[in-house]
Amino acid sequence: MSILHKPIALIAALAACASLASAAPVLAQQADRVFRFADPEGGEIEAGLWLPDGAGDGVPRPLVVISHGNGGWYRGHHDTAEALADAGFVVASLTHPGDNWQDDSRSSQLSDRPRHVSLLIDRVTREGSGIAAIDPGRIGAFGFSAGAFTVTALVGGVSDPARILRHCQEQPAFFACRLLALQPINAPEWRPQGHDPRVRAAVVAGPALGLAFTDESLAAIQIPIQLWQAADDEILPAPFNAEPIRDRLGRSPEYHRVADAGHYDFLPPCAPEMMAAIPALCRSKPGFDRAAFHQMFNREVVRFFQEAL
């Protein structure tokens, strides 16, 4: 998401550009393998795979799947994917159909997204994209922003669009509500349940619209969760997004509140040219070192999945 007052298509494009930005060389952002697979409801889904050393040795590896935020793509969290692969995980990330930098036609239908990730898990566990063996008992998920909403649904959160609509009636100036005013939720098409029991642990960073999930469904979630909140999140502010998840899970999460961080600080650091082109997505609060934060963030994400899986 973006703080710019622009049409959704431009917001999506800008967010995707931010996902491209990194202090690392461009080639370092590439996945080890890029592939597409069929969506039974039509079209194809783009995905990337990051592989640990020796992935072709036939030894089953743990898998982490990644879900990006609104307007992103599969390479949007490349630094976290690389850190996990370096630690021995197979990492699979997808570009959500209808909610990416090229196509925002269904960006308000957040409940579409868990199904996409389940399809990705199907593909990678079944075929390993022809490369890596996956241990089906060790699957985790990582999500940021709308991707964190996605992952919360994957682990058992049941969402109610009426809660979102009521929230936006009460808080129409909030960023998410301004977007939904431009592209309203289609409530009859909403898919309230997206639970995939194969996901045994999850990292939820800067979650969107945590208020949408029912208390009963959150209380039933007992798997390990690592939850990250930016203390100065200007896009998804307290107490409507992270707090409902943090406070209502059946098992207390490992909770990190990042002082002085803004929403976009969960994206990789921007290269200088991207900082100049899209400062709203790249600029952190004075004194906040996004590069240093990501070193710590990625280390803690890796440590969590190592312990949980």
* Domain 8-308, CATH homologous superfamily name and number: Alpha/Beta hydrolase fold, catalytic domain (3.40.50.1820)
> What does residue 284 show for φ and ψ, rounded to 5 degrees?
-100, 170
Question: Which strands, in side-by-side order, build the sheet including 254-258?
Answer: 33-38, 44-50, 90-95, 61-67, 134-144, 199-205, 225-230, 254-258
Assign residue 209 a region (left: φ > 0; alpha: ψ between -120 and 50; beta: otherwise).
Answer: left
Q: Which residues make beta-bridge pairs with 203? A: 142, 226
- Chain mean pLDDT for the chain: 89
Distance CA(124)–CA(134), nearest Å, equals 8
Distance CA(207)–CA(244), nearest Å, equals 10
Q: Is the peptide bond before 239 cis (omega within 30 degrees of 0)?
A: yes
- Range 203-214 average pLDDT: 98
Q: How many CA atoms lie within 13 A of 237 on its CB side?
A: 9
Identify the pLDDT of residue 29.
60
Residue 281 pLDDT exceeds 70: yes
- Range 164-188 average pLDDT: 95
- Range 58-84 average pLDDT: 95
- Range 276-283 average pLDDT: 83
Residue 12 pLDDT exceeds 50: no
Task: Please state, in angstroms and as integers, the Cα–Cα distance from residue 266 to each residue in 147, 148, 305, following that order.
Answer: 12, 12, 18
Q: What is the pLDDT of residues 137-172, one digit of tens each?
A: 999 999 999 999 999 999 999 999 999 999 999 999
Question: How far from each other are the two terminal CA atoms of the chain, in whole angstroms?
Answer: 30
Q: Which of these ranges, 30-44, 120-134, 143-157, 169-183, has the smallest mean pLDDT?
A: 120-134
Residue 6 pLDDT exceeds 90: no
Identify the pLDDT of residue 31.
87
Q: Where do the domains of the chain lie?
A: 8-308
